[in-house]
Amino acid sequence: MAAAVLPARGTQVKIFQARNQAAFLAGTLDGVSVDALGRMQLAPKVDRVASVAEPFLLSAAVHPDGWVVGTGNAGKVLKVDRKGAVSELFAAPEPEVFAVWADPDGTVYAGTSPKGKVYRIPPGKGSKASVFFDPGETYIWALARAADGSLLVGTGTQGKLFRVDAKGKGSILYDSDDTHIRTLAPLPGGDVLAGTAGEGLILRISPDGRARTLYDAEEPEVVSLAAAPDGTCYAAVIASEASLVDQAKDQAVPAAPANPPGRGAAKGGGQPQVSVSVEQVEAPTLTAGRRKGGAQAPQAPRSEILSISPSGVVESLWSFTDDTVYSLLWQDGRLWVATGLEGKLYRWADQQMLLEKDVDERQIVAVLPGDPGPVFATTNAAALFRVTRGTEASGTYTSAALDAEQVARFGTFSWQGEVPPGGAVRFSFRSGVSAEPDRTWSAWTEPREGMEIPLTGLPRGRFVQWRAELRAGDHASPRIYETELSYRQENLSPKIASLQVLEPGQILVPANFNPTNQTFEPAHPNRDGIFTRIGQPGDDEPGGGRTKMLWKLGYQTLRWAASDPNGDDLVYDLSFRPASADGGKEGDWLEVEKDLKDDHFSFDAMSLPDGIYRFRLRASDLPSNDPDAALVAERVSDPVVIDHTPPELVKVEKDRDGKLLRVTVRDALNPLREAVASVNAQEWKPVRAADGLLDGRTETLLIEPGKPGDLLLLRVTDAAHNVTTFNLTQER
């Protein structure tokens, strides 16, 4: 569920609780952020720089006059100036621009796909683009300036890294064994980090083309690299289900994965560039289960952030199960992380991952250095944003639709946090029956303040949402640390799925039950009634543990399966009455046992005379409800035969030729189950029934008479394990 559900002790009241980052991230954040400790507050202030009238933005880089972006479908290269004005620099013949780079003098390079080429776009109005370098490869994923001033070009599907001089003459710097060189990060000393797709390798390549593998990730694709001044590098890797290289394989025009930065090289100038791809996703739902970031069963990470020390030691920093990382940026001592599928910008600092911004756009595909804060680019829809100083003046948080699993009455909302002077936090609520909030839901309640808010006027429903409006105070943001919303389900009757009668003699005892010397007797007879139970350890304790099956002659066991739709605790009453032999009216139900907590009952059936009985089980949810609200379900067993009398001998006669004895045996209530004979106290051997099947209450058995004077014994057992032995010895 989106929030933890806590039962209140001794009652049916339950609580939706949110007190950590995962719980709060299940909701929708607008102008608020949540840190790794689960503290919600107003987010850093973000300004929209520009909206781009293109369906897909695939790559971005810093330009001396602002920024330059590459688009998809139309293959355009656009410049966005610092005032947000958008102008077209170039429209390529190829449909996708997965990589862009801008030099300090304003020269722009664009890598296109498929049948990729690198175009050079000179600065100045009216300048024309020309092919600068044609590697003869399908994709161009990454562009970066090396320390020697050459242009590095990462390509696929042959996994080649090219080095191109100022005249556009290229050579292979490194030919990898992997499929794609996906991302590049030049290092100050002249080496370059390269991330691959296919095997998910992180390579360190020297200027002379020698390479060593720093890390072989479990995930197949390295989508972004970023370098810190101290020599530490950071990498983002993604799992196969998020890999856009894999998705591109069967497409005529492939969609591309994310391909972010190196920071600019020390020699040769230039600014970091980011190449990314667009991932098409279904709209998230807002109810329990996954429902936009809700808790779910453990699963492999969708994305992972790694750190690589200057000595080459690799450490996992953070994993995302629901977000796909597209871009990384190191700026001002912090690692910025751009993600989809929900358009979230995170910041890693002080060993914590903080959600800084959750935008309406579905994917943040690039994050670039900026002043005072980073600039990030989105697609779906395409836009540029800039993180500025200070925090938002106000923000709103809307929880996921919390699922009570049944129609419920909502009680009280409470929260823990702090409000600075001049600030405010106000809450609104709504409820409904459908999983997705729609027109059938109640309207939002009027916003209210207070640390505890009764929800008496909120209509009953299965789902509920709460919304918080935060307003900044005197140079500080309000903070929310924890919320609780209580509810009580409409009580539903327990359900008895089955009531089973075990074979006579079978009993159920706790798994740790160990009768002394493999024999055991009933506890002292029950003086309050006729039914005696097996003396078991912990007989007065609630059941629910593991059991094992034993056997004791004369005992009978009932076993049942019952549940409660509300999750209430159940107790059981068991009663019986003789069944009517002729189908007439039966007598009153007589008590066997009350307030049972186990799911079975074994008793000494010798207390009952031979006959046919029915047992009634009543399941009550009284332990979790007030007496006037408790509900009961009942179920009556199939007829139960109680039989203590062994079979009887009816007659013995010889067949016509005198070779066989025809022995007729009868049982009053149960079919016969076994018949064996022994001659002169030797082994027991099965006896054949005249009709071929030993399955009736009356059977004629065929037995070889033996020689006169031989001791001939016949032992017969019925279905209730009643045994008797007949002496059929003939006189000499």
The CATH fold of domain 44-280+301-391: Methylamine Dehydrogenase; Chain H (2.130.10)
Where is pLDDT greater, at 506 or 716?
716
Quick check: helix, strand or coil at residue 517? helix
The model's confidence at residue 567, banded by pLDDT at 50, 70 and 90, is confident
Distances (CA, A) of 73 to 94, 96, 223, 276, 330: 9, 6, 21, 14, 30
Longest dimension (CA), the chain: 132
- Residues 613 and 705: their CA atoms lie apart, in Å, by 40
500 contacts 616 by C-beta, under 8 angstroms: no
pLDDT of residue 292: 30
CATH architecture for the domain at 648-727:
Sandwich (2.60)
**In the structure encoding, which two tokens stand for residue 17, read together?**
């609780």
- The torsion angles phi and psi of 605, rounded to 5 degrees, stand at -75, -5
Q: Please compute, for residue 52, the number of CA atoms within 13 A of its CA located in the half-sphere on the CB side.
A: 33
Q: What is the CATH number of domain 4-42+396-485?
A: 2.60.120
pLDDT of residue 444: 98
The model's confidence at residue 6, banded by pLDDT at 50, 70 and 90, is low
Distances (CA, A) of 223 to 181, 185, 200, 235, 302: 10, 11, 9, 8, 12
pTM recorded for the entire structure: 0.63
Q: pLDDT tens digits, residue range 273-332?
A: 444 433 333 333 222 222 233 333 345 568 999 999 988 888 999 998 888 999 999 998
**In the chain, what are the domain boundaries?**
4-42+396-485, 44-280+301-391, 495-642, 648-727
Domain 648-727 in the same topology as domain 495-642: yes
The model's confidence at residue 552, banded by pLDDT at 50, 70 and 90, is confident
Where is pLDDT greater, at 176 or 240?
176
Least confident of 240-244, 281-285, 454-458, 505-509: 281-285
Q: Does domain 495-642 have CATH number 3.20.19.10?
A: no
Q: Is 53 exposed, middle or buried (0-12, 13-18, 19+ CB in 10 A)?
A: exposed
Percent of the chain with pLDDT over 90: 65
- Residues 327 and 403: their CA atoms lie apart, in Å, by 34
- Residues 25 and 36: their CA atoms lie apart, in Å, by 11
The model's confidence at residue 10, banded by pLDDT at 50, 70 and 90, is very low
Q: Report how far apart the first and last C-alpha atoms of the chain are (Å, whole number).
A: 85
Which range of 30-39, 480-489, 537-546, 650-659 scores highest in mean pLDDT? It is: 480-489
- Tell me the one-letter amino acid at 534: I
Least confident of 242-256, 259-273, 459-473: 259-273
pLDDT of residue 7: 52
Q: pLDDT tens digits, residue range 638-657?
A: 999 999 999 999 999 988 88
Q: How many degrees, rounded to 5, is the angle at CA 240 between CA 235 and CA 243? A: 65
Where is pLDDT greater, at 592 or 657?
592
Q: What string of DSSP letters covers 399-466?
A: ---EEEEEEEEEEEEEEEEE--TT-EEEEEEEEESSSS--TTSPPPPPPB-SSEEE-TTSPPEEEEEE
150 CB-near residues (< 8 Å, 6+ apart): 163, 164, 165, 166, 268
Mean pLDDT of 347-362: 86
Local structure of residue 147 (DSSP, 8 states):
T
pLDDT of residue 274: 46
- Residues 521 and 533: their CA atoms lie apart, in Å, by 10
